[in-house]
Amino acid sequence: MDEEDPKEYRWETGYEKTWEAIKEDDDGFLEASIADIIQRAKRKRQNKKEYGTKLGMMRHLYVVLDCSESMSSQDLKPTRFMCTLKLLEGFMDEFFDQNPISQIGVIIMHNKRAEKILDLAGNARKHIKLLKSLNKTSLVGEPSLQNGLEMALRSLKLLPTHASREILIIMGSLTTCDPSDINTTIESLKTDGVRCSVIGLAAEVHICKVLADKTGGVYNIILDDSHFKDLLYQQIDPPPAALGLESSLIKMGFPHQMSVEGTEEPLTMCMCHVDSADEASKLTTGGYYCPQCYSKYCELPVECRACGLTLVSAPHLARSYHHLFPAASYQEVVYEKQSEICFGCQKQFNEVDKQIFECLNCGNYFCIDCDIFVHDTLHTCPGCATNPSTFQITQTG
Amino acid sequence: MNNLELPTEKTAEFSSVDESSLVVIIFDSNPGQKLLRENPHLLTHCLDSIISFSNSHLMQKSQNKLAVMACHSRKSDFIYPGPGKPLDIRQVDGQYETFTLVEKTIKQNLAKHLAGESAMLNTESLLAGAIAMALCYISRLQRTKSPAFTLNSRILVVTGSSDSASQYMNYMNVFFTAQKQNVVIDVCALDQHLSLLQQGCDITGGLYLRLPQLQGLLQYLLWVFLPEPPIRQKLVLPPPVKVDYRAACFCHREMIDIGYVCSVCLSIFCKFSPICTTCHTVFKIPALAVKSKKKKIKL
Ligand SMILES: [Zn+2]
Ligand SMILES: [Zn+2]
Ligand SMILES: [Zn+2]
Ligand SMILES: [Zn+2]
Ligand SMILES: [Zn+2]
């Protein structure tokens, strides 16, 4: 690697990688245009969100991580691998926050082999602990994309038909060393409805493009670390439901604390730590009881070990409703004194505000910061929510 | 109360110069609240208590910030600081000018806010929307403040309305946003028990209090809600109540222990049905359900 002049090196590859994007936007600086590309992509995605799209909410995702020699490259700081691990930590947290009843597994590829280091599981803490321990992984040899895909497929195949199946590949290498024809694997992924997306850390690789295209996933090459983060976090939004994904009604339990006013709760053992090596099961009061068999758990969501019922809390499910019921879209309009102040943050509009944003549902006007805040974080339009004719979020809208 | 033994260093920590706190009070001004329909004079009583509370908050530290909102079924407004220029206030009776300003502004803007709202309308107050506005406001203050300065923000909802499931999603969205932005939501329920707002307090680490008697409103506000959240752990406050997180089914809005969840949109139903009423998905009938419901479902 060109380590004497890392700046120029980064700029050059950056240029190569952004070739297509830069072309559309011919004048302008590289830094500015990266921020621009991210911002534009965000708006485009935002506008695509609408009521009534069927999404795969019960997601089962394998993250297949390249741990080959190419990941030790320093074009991301400190290395591609370290940068990836750091970003993945934040990703796991956010993913489970937004996809409360989904699961992630992790597979690594190095030395032409694939290794499953974490089975599908639904608890961010477990994943983050694992990622922290991964930094000692030896980055050797070439990856085998086929082996990684086959391993994930074997596990995803076993899932019930209403489960959304996905693979996310993070690939630093430009080559893959496969035992047989990878096209056969791609065909079976397609047949089993597994959506494969790839984030490339270097340059475009033909087979990755084929994989993503055929399975309905997306393929992107990062421009720099902030773009990497943006691409990764795009995977947090649940994808449209795959064709052939069956829908069903799933029986679930909503445990509540068992307490009778005025009485002390008995000390009981929880089921979650019964056979865990590092944390012993403790006698505690409180906890969540399976409404079907009364086993106790100290955390939700969880699948009851005794009777198999999925246990969740109502706010857990509510965390993902905004994917299905997004806030009304805002339209950019030229500021012509339509309103003195922003309806949300109460900021006075002035000459600097050339563009303001109008809610297409309630007709109130917002500043650009509120537009971003409402659509990225809040997911409820303050104008719609304070108006008796628009406050109810329904899918029929 | 034996809470006078605060360690001195701790007190110093909370009163550092570059840290201050913002309280956004959301006052439910709906004339249709049962409380106000029975006794309209209570509006003034509540308002006076809120003004006194506001002034106490501002008095605690000169950098402290305050916003007051009024909310009924048709709109929510900032009544302090309020739109436009601040009122021109001269010193009255030796009262601290800011206090006079707070009182005058709140009373004047509340009158404007209430104009045209009739007590006959008994529709619900759109509190979730008011909280959404408050979060936008807080987010702007956080964006525009100097980075060296820490602003701890909280929202205090004072309401006598009952809560209704029709705002469920808006409530959940504002609660999760507040949690993410470290905004504490406190609720002072003047009349009925509010199970949704109570969940919001629990999610954001705020306090929920159902007032035992309305006469003592100011005392309760000062005792329970005036201390900043970090100090509260050291005070003797009403014990937390257990929060009921059971789900309400989308079909009848009844609380359920076991339900059926649509795999496409996560809507919750209390019974198996062949089609999701929210997203119109037609379900494959699971083996078990076929057995028990064979007679009812014809497909
Ligand atoms: Zn059970
Ligand atoms: Zn704004
Ligand atoms: Zn709106
Ligand atoms: Zn029902
Ligand atoms: Zn549905």
Neighbouring residues of B152: CB distance < 8 A, sequence distance ≥ 6:
B19, B20, B21, B22, B182, B228, B229
Residue B111 inside a domain? The answer is yes
User: Which segment of A260-269, A333-342, B161-170 scores lowest on mean pLDDT?
Assistant: A260-269
Residue B95 inside a domain? The answer is yes
A20 pLDDT higher than 60: no
pLDDT band per the 50, 70, 90 thresholds, residue A3: very low
- DSSP at A240: B
pLDDT at B92: 62
Cα A42 to middle of ligand 2, angstroms = 19
Mean pLDDT of all residues belonging to chain A: 81
B292 pLDDT higher than 70: no
pLDDT band per the 50, 70, 90 thresholds, residue A74: very high
Residue B92 inside a domain? The answer is yes
CATH of the domain at A348: 3.30.40.10
pLDDT at A46: 64
B226 pLDDT higher than 90: yes
At residue A108, the 3 state secondary structure works out as strand
Nearest to B133 among A161, A379, A386 (CB): A386
Residue A60 inside a domain? The answer is yes
pLDDT at A262: 46
| Domain final position from B232, B255, B278 | B232
Give the number of whichever ligand sits closest to the CA of residue B281: 5
> Residues of chain B with pLDDT > 90: what percent?
39
pLDDT band per the 50, 70, 90 thresholds, residue B196: confident
| Domain final position from A213, A236, A259 | A236
Is residue B288 domain-shared with residue B176, that is, in the same domain? no
* Report for A107-116, A270-279, B276-285: range of highest mean pLDDT: A107-116
Residue A386 inside a domain? The answer is yes
pLDDT at B35: 85
Is residue B27 domain-shared with residue B125, that is, in the same domain? yes
pLDDT band per the 50, 70, 90 thresholds, residue A164: confident
Nearest residue of A to residue B269, measured between CA atoms: A249
- The residue that leads in pLDDT, B31 or A281, is B31
Which domain range does residue B295 map to?
247-299
| Domain final position from B204, B232, B260 | B232
Residue A286 inside a domain? The answer is no
Handedness of CA A13, A17, A21, A24 (dihedral sign): positive
Average pLDDT over residues A36-42: 66
At residue A159, the 3 state secondary structure works out as coil
Q: Mutating which of B76, B170, B201, B254 best tests the A interface, going by the most A Cβ atoms within 10 A?
A: B170
CATH of the domain at B154: 3.40.50.410
Contact B245 A291 (CB under 8 A): no
Among B130, B25, B23, which residue's Cα sits nearest to residue B72? B130
pLDDT at A6: 38
Total number of domains in chain A: 2
Total number of domains in chain B: 2
Nearest to A317 among B83, B130, B261 (CB): B261
User: Which segment of A159-173, A323-337, B82-96 scores lowest on mean pLDDT?
Assistant: B82-96
pLDDT digits (tens, 9 = 90+) for A187-236: 999 999 999 999 999 999 999 999 999 999 999 999 998 999 999 999 99
Q: What is the pTM of this model?
A: 0.77
pLDDT band per the 50, 70, 90 thresholds, residue A124: confident
Is residue A232 domain-shared with residue A341, that is, in the same domain? no
Is residue B292 domain-shared with residue B190, that is, in the same domain? no
B252 pLDDT higher than 60: yes
Residue A25 inside a domain? The answer is no
> Residues of chain A with pLDDT > 70: what percent?
77
| Domain final position from A236, A253, A273 | A236
Contact B284 A377 (CB under 8 A): no
Contact A380 B167 (CB under 8 A): no
Residue A98 inside a domain? The answer is yes
Average pLDDT over residues A278-294: 70
Average pLDDT over residues A14-40: 51
Is residue B117 domain-shared with residue B263, that is, in the same domain? no
pLDDT at B289: 44
Nearest to A392 among B166, B173, B248 (CB): B166
From chain A residues 123-182, the ones with a CB under 8 A of any chain B CB are 161-162
Residue A389 inside a domain? The answer is yes
> Residues of chain B with pLDDT > 70: what percent?
82
pLDDT at B218: 95
A177 pLDDT higher than 60: yes
- The residue that leads in pLDDT, A234 or A52, is A234
From chain A residues 38-67, the ones with a CB under 8 A of any chain B CB are 52, 54-55, 57-58
Is residue B27 domain-shared with residue B164, that is, in the same domain? yes
Average pLDDT over residues A337-344: 92
Q: Mutating which of B105, B138, B166, B265 best tests the A interface, going by the most A Cβ atoms within 10 A?
A: B265
A152 pLDDT higher than 90: yes
Is residue A205 domain-shared with residue A351, that is, in the same domain? no
pLDDT at A34: 65
Is residue A229 domain-shared with residue A118, that is, in the same domain? yes
Is residue B201 domain-shared with residue B270, that is, in the same domain? no
Residue B1 inside a domain? The answer is no
Residue B203 inside a domain? The answer is yes
pLDDT at B95: 63
Is residue B226 domain-shared with residue B256, that is, in the same domain? no
pLDDT band per the 50, 70, 90 thresholds, residue A272: low
Average pLDDT over residues A85-106: 89
pLDDT at A60: 92
Residue A148 inside a domain? The answer is yes
DSSP assignment of chain B: -------HHHHHHHT-TTEEEEEEEEEE--TTSHHHHH-TTHHHHHHHHHHHHHHHHHHH-TT-EEEEEEE-SS-EEEEES-SSSPP-----TT--HHHHHHHHHHHHHHHHHHTT--TT--PPP-HHHHHHHHHHHHHHHHHHS-TT-EEEEEEEEEE-SPP-GGGHHHHHHHHHHHHHTT-EEEEEESSS--HHHHHHHHHHT--EEE-S-GGGHHHHIIIIISS-HHHHTTS--PPPPPP--PEEPTTT--EESEEEEETTT--EESS--SB-TTT-PBPPPPHHHHHHHTTT---
Residue B3 inside a domain? The answer is no
Contact B242 A257 (CB under 8 A): yes
Which residue has tokens 């805040």? A373
A258 pLDDT higher than 80: no
pLDDT at B298: 41
| Domain final position from B232, B266, B286 | B232
Is residue A346 domain-shared with residue A228, that is, in the same domain? no
A277 pLDDT higher than 70: no
Residue A144 inside a domain? The answer is yes
Is residue A207 domain-shared with residue A339, that is, in the same domain? no
Is residue B79 domain-shared with residue B217, that is, in the same domain? yes
pLDDT band per the 50, 70, 90 thresholds, residue B114: confident
Is residue B55 domain-shared with residue B147, that is, in the same domain? yes
Is residue B189 domain-shared with residue B226, that is, in the same domain? yes
| Domain final position from A236, A258, A278 | A236
pLDDT band per the 50, 70, 90 thresholds, residue B186: very high
Average pLDDT over residues A55-77: 90
Average pLDDT over residues B96-106: 85
A27 pLDDT higher than 80: no
Neighbouring residues of B126: CB distance < 8 A, sequence distance ≥ 6:
A385, A386, A387, A388, A391, B71, B72, B73, B76, B167
Which domain range does residue A209 map to?
55-236
Is residue B175 domain-shared with residue B282, that is, in the same domain? no
Is residue B290 domain-shared with residue B191, that is, in the same domain? no
Distance CA A228, CA A92 (A): 15
User: Which segment of A279-283, A362-366, B9-13 scores lowest on mean pLDDT?
Assistant: B9-13
Residues of chain B found within 8 Å of residue A361, distances taken between Cβ atoms:
none
Mean pLDDT of all residues belonging to chain B: 83
